[in-house]
Chains A and B, each alone.
Chain A
Amino acid sequence: MTTAAVEPQQIFSAGRSGKDVRSDLRVTFEPRASGGLEIDLASRVSTYYGDSIRAQALDVLKQMGVTDCHLAIEDEGALPFVISARIESAVRRAWGGKGKRVLLERTAAQAPLQRDRLRRSRLYLPGSEPKYFVNASLHAPDAIILDLEDSVHPDEKDTARILVRNALRAVDFGSCERMVRINQLPLGLADLEEIVPERPDLILLPKTEAAEQVREVARKIAEIKHRHAISDPTWLMPILESALGIENAFAIARADDSIVALTIGLEDYTADLGVVKSLEGAESLYARTRLVNAARAAGVQAIDSVFGDVADRNGLRAWGEHSRALGFEGMGCIHPGQIPVIHEAFAPSKSEIDKALKIVGAFEDAKTQGRGVVSLGSKMIDPPVVMRALKLVERARAMNSIKPSN
């Protein structure tokens, strides 16, 4: 018997199908009082995986404790982690959101966590579009963002979070940092419950305006991790999207130890100011430089917003180079084609690298000779300059801009 009372005439759906849909499915779940589990399957790939889909559907229903129902599936070549998510969603919709989680075998290896890693590019993947998940890492962004917030329709928030949870378990994201953008609280609390146990590397907090908001999320995360006996860190990246958020930038950046970076959402910010977002970005210059300053002062990375015009590669390059010059270490990304352009824009130039290598060389000489002062020729190099050169060389090595022999 099902665990919650439900009107027998009601049916509950999740997912999408249709000739323009790929890698997804639409399931329609009708709980019944008797008759066992009846499954109707129409699939683009029934010749190849028809048996497998039916077996999986039965398995998911049984795991959730469903004994009697009619389940209709219209499948457009969805992978198993998507099938499981959509069926679970439909059943949980029938039960008012409650229901046993169907946790797939954890097959995706995780890259080791690193607080201060390269975050030049972070590729947004709408949480309700599974077709983009499996090949995302092949395009080599530094990070991927499984988005539960603005790219997901309000009616799809519940099913997207189950899909993203499954993706974190089953999809191989290679060496990309795995980020999730949750919804603003209180909705975001449900997101955290579902995804924190899957150990995303970093959580993005939208529309952050006060340090206390960050602390509330951090407390919730800690509580969930305690319940699941997880001790690995979960990084946080607040997104400032309003004038107030920018005003409180420094306080927000220092709000918690887990914060590794600060970023900005320019669409909402310019809307808040009541100005038009321009290509050159003069209207957000203050906000962005303030963010860079606050991030530096708090010892975290400053990450820029996305560049919305996917077709304009030259505009993207110009924006990226300017962004780097302002002190940002990376930016958001909405299309894989933007990734190589962004990486080039945020890479130090050859002359910068050469200069930095010379300084590092001089630093090592000074060390081996026991001298306290670093000098290149007749010129003395101040300690901050040395630090910056060391950091640049380290970054350049991470970007493969320097051959190992150097």
Chain B
Amino acid sequence: MSTATDLALELAKNAAGRLVPTFVNGNDQTPYLGVGQYQPTGRKASPMIPSNRNYPSDGDKRVPDLETALRLCGLHDGMVISSHHHLRDGDAVALETLRIAANMGVRDLMWFPSASFPSQKPVIELMEAGVVHHIEGSMNGPLGDYCSRGKMRGMGVLRSHGGRWQAIQDGEVHIDIAVIAAPAADPFGNANGTIGKSACGGLGFALADSLYADKVIVVTDNLVPFPCVPWQIQGNNVDYVVEVPSIGDPSKIVSGTTQITRSPDRLLIARYVAEFLRDAGIMRDGFSFQAGAGGIALAFVDYLRRMMKEAGVKARFVRGGSTRYLVELLNEGLTGYILDGQTFDLDGVGSLASDPRHISTSPFTSYNYHGKGNIASMIDAVVLGATEVDLNFNGNVVTHSDGRLLHGIGGWQNCLFAKCTILALPSFRDRIPVIVDEVTTLTGPGELIDVVVTERGIAINPRRRDLIDATKNSKLPIKTIAQIQKEVFDLCGGRPQKPRLTGNPVAVVKWVDGTVLDTVWQVET
């Protein structure tokens, strides 16, 4: 396996003008070719053919504990272990899996989470001890810092939710053992996330793992007699089932209730977003939109809802991040459906469990680019955040402006394919300008980003003449992106210094088609 400090590192300039490695963690890489330019060839990955003869005829796959399950799966050095993040910061299972591996004396594992959280900071110790070789998945806070300082042995690989599905499906990542924490499961291995004391909503992020991994272990704190319905994870794909007292801390899995931000500045931006959707004619009967779980990306829903009521407009469907605010829309008849990728509060969980119009989606249906279309591309409007956006409308979500890893991509890249992609963000944060000359780390190409909404004004991508024309009579403060940048630079006392980065890559950012979009460089300490 190549390491991050390999001196014979080969870098190539990709279609976005970014320098990227062509060989990462033992695999050849294709540099980014442009939006929709890469044509995959070959067939999807496939697991080995199983046979009923090797599984209990009574359908009871239970084993006493997780360690037994891992041993039976043949856990050994160098394997790829995957986990999902539906239990968010309350997850106990992923860390426990890696700790058991440490106790068993296993080394050099690749951890492949769908996302990581602050409570998984102890993985740093496991990396120091050599149990974990590297992480391919988002790395927040302390884990991100560790990687940014060049301490991780392998290179980090950041993928979107859709990109993770694509990587598994295309055989780019081969999962040896998938460990699926499930709020409800039966002894056969059917599982869901909607019922039980640790209920989290859907389990979509674990779906690809269950289909493609060599071995699949379901871990639950709520074993029910067969059948466990609804079965989002099919027991027919599961090897072992483990019952534990608790899979995590419910108070950190979903919040009791979601509160919209009270910050007047954020609310102002949210109002501008809703007014833009109205003035541009995007808000109309039968339209669709996507909301986030918090911040501005959620707050705009409140304003939009009032405008929809006033205009007598109903959405055909909304996508989320579901929270009580989307559930309210459903109950008020303002949307026909909620398509739910991840549930954030108890109202969302309850609605998903009881309302047939509230439907679970997976990264396959919503986000996968190597498929025959996906839902995120069909949406009329999506509202996203970013750490930076540049004069060409390119966006960054993975690093701070100083180059340090901040968080993962999530569904952000996948959502860029919506008909109208809006980045809603403050024009500066703590004297740090958000509109920069060139993004520090390219996460999304500007040709897909249509509108930037800040408290100081709204900039429309010059490529979108249709949006510019549609809003020419709007009272909104529409400016060029360069004008907003200049206002902010004047406020902040000039152009900021550029970060001091080394020439050593510590992670790569993949595009939705598996090509390499940009490099995250080690920060100077």
Contacts and interface: CB of A to CB of B under 8 A. Distances in A.
B264 A48 contact: no
Given A45-B430, A45-B432, A76-B430, A138 B496 contact: no
Contacts, number: 61
Given A47-B402, A138-B268, A138-B455, A77 B493 contact: no
A23 B431 CA distance: 7
B470 interface: no
B264 A134 contact: no
B268 A48 contact: no
B264 A78 contact: no
B496 A49 contact: yes
Given A48-B496, A49-B492, A135-B455, A23 B430 contact: yes
Given A49-B494, A76-B430, A79-B491, 14 more contacts: A23-B431, A44-B431, A45-B430, A47-B497, A47-B500, A49-B496, A56-B493, A77-B432, A78-B431, A135-B264, A138-B265, A138-B455, A335-B264, A337-B264
A80 B429 CA distance: 15
A138 B402 CA distance: 29
B431 A138 contact: no
A38 interface: no
Interface of B: 262, 264-265, 267-268, 401-402, 429-432, 455-456, 490-494, 496-497, 499-500
B264 A139 contact: yes
A359 B402 CA distance: 64
Contacts of A49: 431, 492-494, 496-497
A250 B53 CA distance: 100
Nearest to A81: B493
Report, nearest first, the 9 A-B pairs whose CB atoms are least far apart: A77-B430, A48-B496, A336-B264, A80-B493, A77-B431, A47-B402, A45-B431, A135-B265, A138-B455
B491 to A, nearest CB: 6
A228 to B, nearest CB: 26
Contacts of B267: 337
Interface in A129-159: 134-135, 138-139
Contacts of B265: 135, 138
Q: Which of A50, A76, A336 neighbours the largest number of chain B CB atoms within 10 Å of its CB? A: A336
Nearest to A43: B431
A71 to B, nearest CB: 18
Interface in A316-347: 335-337
A135 B427 CA distance: 11
Interface string A161-182: 0000000000000000000000
A48 B456 contact: no
B521 to A, nearest CB: 14
A79 B497 contact: no
A114 interface: no
A337 B499 CA distance: 37
Contact of A22 (B430, B455, B456, B490): B430
B457 to A, nearest CB: 10
5 contacts: A48-B401, A52-B493, A52-B494, A76-B430, A79-B491
Interface in A22-66: 22-23, 44-45, 47-52, 56
Contact of B497 (A51, A78, A80, A135): A51
Given A107-B490, A138-B455, A139-B268, A50 B431 contact: no
Nearest to A135: B265
B432 A48 contact: yes
A205 B168 CA distance: 70
A132 to B, nearest CB: 9
A52 B433 CA distance: 15
Contacts of B432: 45, 48, 77
